[in-house]
Amino acid sequence: MRYNALQILKQGLTGHKGWKPAWRKAEPKFDYDIIIVGGGGHGLATAYYLAEKFEQKRIAVLEKGWIGGGNVGRNTTIIRSNYMLHENEGFYEFSLRLWEKQEKDLNYNTMVSQRGVLNLAHTDPQRDAYARRGNAMILNGADAKLLDVEGVRKLCPFLNFDNARFPIRGGLWQKRGGTVRHDAVAWGYARAADMRGVDIIENCEVTGFAIQSGICTGVQTTRGQIKAKKIGVAVAGSSSKVLTMAGMRLPMESHVLQAFVSEGLKPTLQGVITYGAGHFYVSQSDKGGLVFGGDIDGYNSYAQRGNLPVVEDVCEGGVSLMPMIGKARLLRMWGGNVDMSMDGSPIIDKTHIDGLYFNGGWCYGGFKATPASGYCFAELIATDSPNDTAKNFRMDRFSRGLMIDEKGQGCQPNLH
């Protein structure tokens, strides 16, 4: 069923009784050409692009829980392409371009809202670093504008300019950045993949891999064995747990990241604001709630639930940046489990096992990557060669000394 204005009118006049489920409740078959493990944003986008762009057939997505229950439905919804290293920037700009046409491609209202992303600078060297990053963005075809203090004040007059411990010195503004409704992205890709024949199988946990003579020929699941010629794993925070079942040890740690939403306020924030002197970022949802977050909980965990010290730390960041936030009540909060790689950049690559492919290491920035990650992973699985924008996201870059360390933090997953 395609969604359009006529359909809304028709359903409105007939008591909304004719809407169909967005995707079928598929039963697992005995074998497939391609299995994607993990029904998050990246797994669903991969299945969609496999069917739509790379003309693959007999595809299944296996999800241990429900669609939208992982990080794809838990993030703070920010999209942007404001990276400096060329290994990253081309890829994230490709992603932003796919976001820009996503609603049309999927025939689904994912609420893509290019309301802008502002990174604040609080010291002169930080402003210089933003100038350099902005130039790198422009060289890669992205948009970027360096703002002075007055430029920032015009956009966000409510920030703490005059009495702050870390005064604002300017900012880097990406107008095409913004927000997208996170769970709609999962539903939109699931529906679009289903419409192209992909079986989306929920409540189906992968519990092992069938590997013989270095070739992966299928998976064991809580709903029985399923064979496949090719298997792509995109399980985000569960990456190290899942690939342990294939005998692999990943250069990655799992940590909790929390998100927070305040009570609804009148429209205040135009776009996304990130604090440059602490770890805090905030936007305002269409319902009026301030949606914000900060640092990861600083120890390894597979939990989807956060701890109180980070709540205090994030709220401190918010109050020092925009003191008025102290008057708003916190309405709800939750945690997700993020796959922190050693250099802060992702992996989209074949493994050393034939037929087994891996996508992960998205840290806390993988939502904005969803369309490009799906596209590039689908291309790799379908053609066995990488997309040009993702060719550096190799698994062996750590042993080859070719890290993609955007932040310059070294091998410290908890600092990226």
Ligand X SMILES: Cc1cc2nc3c(=O)[nH]c(=O)nc-3n(C[C@H](O)[C@H](O)[C@H](O)COP(=O)(O)OP(=O)(O)OC[C@H]3O[C@@H](n4cnc5c(N)ncnc54)[C@H](O)[C@@H]3O)c2cc1C
CA atoms of 406 and 416, how far apart (whole Å):
8
Least separation, in Å, of the C-beta of 43 and ligand X? 6
Least separation, in Å, of the C-beta of 14 and ligand X? 35
Indicate whether 72 belongs to the interface with ligand X (CB under 6 A). Answer: yes
Binding positions for ligand X, 338-357, rule CB under 6 A: 338
Least separation, in Å, of the C-beta of 74 and ligand X? 5
Tell the residue number behind the tokens 């990246």, with chain if given. 42
What's the count of helices (H) and strands (E) in the chain, helices before strands? 10, 18
Among 280, 362, 377, 393, binds ligand X (CB under 6 A): 362
Least separation, in Å, of the C-beta of 338 and ligand X? 5
Q: What are phi and psi of 383, to 5 degrees?
A: -110, -10
Instruction: Sort residue 415 into left (φ over 0), alpha (ψ -120 to 50) or beta.
Output: alpha
- Among the residue ranges 5-13, 14-22, 69-77, 166-174, the one whose residues contact ligand X (CB under 6 A): 69-77
Count how many Cα atoms sit within 13 Å of the Cα of residue 108 in the half-sphere of its side chain.
22
- Judged on CB neighbours under 10 Å (0-12, 13-18, 19+), 415 is middle
Name residue 365's amino acid.
G
Q: Give the CA distances from residue 55 to residues 47, 59, 197, 270, in Å, rounded to whole numbers and listed in that order.
A: 11, 11, 11, 40
Indicate whether 235 belongs to the interface with ligand X (CB under 6 A). Answer: yes
* 3 state SS of 23: coil
Among 35, 159, 242, 252, binds ligand X (CB under 6 A): 242
Indicate whether 259 belongs to the interface with ligand X (CB under 6 A). Answer: yes
Neighbours of 266 (CB within 10 A): 6
DSSP 265-305: -SS---SEEE-SSSS-EEEE-TTSEEEEEEEEEEEE---S-
Buried b (16+ CB within 10 A) or exposed e, 325-353: beebebeebebbbbbbbbbbbbbbbbbeb
String marking each residue 128-147 x if it binds ligand X according to CB under 6 A: --------------------
Among 35, 60, 74, 119, binds ligand X (CB under 6 A): 74
Least separation, in Å, of the C-beta of 358 and ligand X? 12
CA atoms of 271 and 78, how far apart (whole Å):
10
Cβ partners under 8 Å of residue 355, min gap 6: 215, 216, 217, 228, 229, 230, 231
Size, binding site for ligand X by CB under 6 A:
40
Structure tokens at 20: 């169909």
Nearer to ligand X, 170 or 344 (CB): 344
- Among the residue ranges 103-111, 161-169, 252-260, 407-415, the one whose residues contact ligand X (CB under 6 A): 252-260
Name residue 408's amino acid.
G
Least separation, in Å, of the C-beta of 324 and ligand X? 22
Binding positions for ligand X, 17-56, rule CB under 6 A: 37-43
CA atoms of 279 and 37, how far apart (whole Å):
32
String marking each residue 367-406 x if it binds ligand X according to CB under 6 A: xx--------------------------------------
- Among the residue ranges 75-83, 163-171, 317-325, 390-398, the one whose residues contact ligand X (CB under 6 A): 75-83
Nearer to ligand X, 36 or 159 (CB): 36
Indicate whether 69 belongs to the interface with ligand X (CB under 6 A). Answer: yes
Nearer to ligand X, 242 or 381 (CB): 242
Among 105, 205, 313, 405, binds ligand X (CB under 6 A): 205
Residue number of the CB closest to ligand X reads: 40
* Adjacent-strand bridge partners of 172: 119, 146
Rg (CA), the chain: 21
Least separation, in Å, of the C-beta of 172 and ligand X? 17
Binding positions for ligand X, 275-294, rule CB under 6 A: 293
Nearer to ligand X, 64 or 230 (CB): 64
Among 114, 238, 254, 345, binds ligand X (CB under 6 A): 238
Nearer to ligand X, 127 or 314 (CB): 314
Structure tokens at 238: 């569960």
Binding site for ligand X (CB under 6 A): 37-43, 62-65, 69-72, 74-78, 205-206, 234-238, 242, 257-259, 293, 336, 338, 362, 364-368
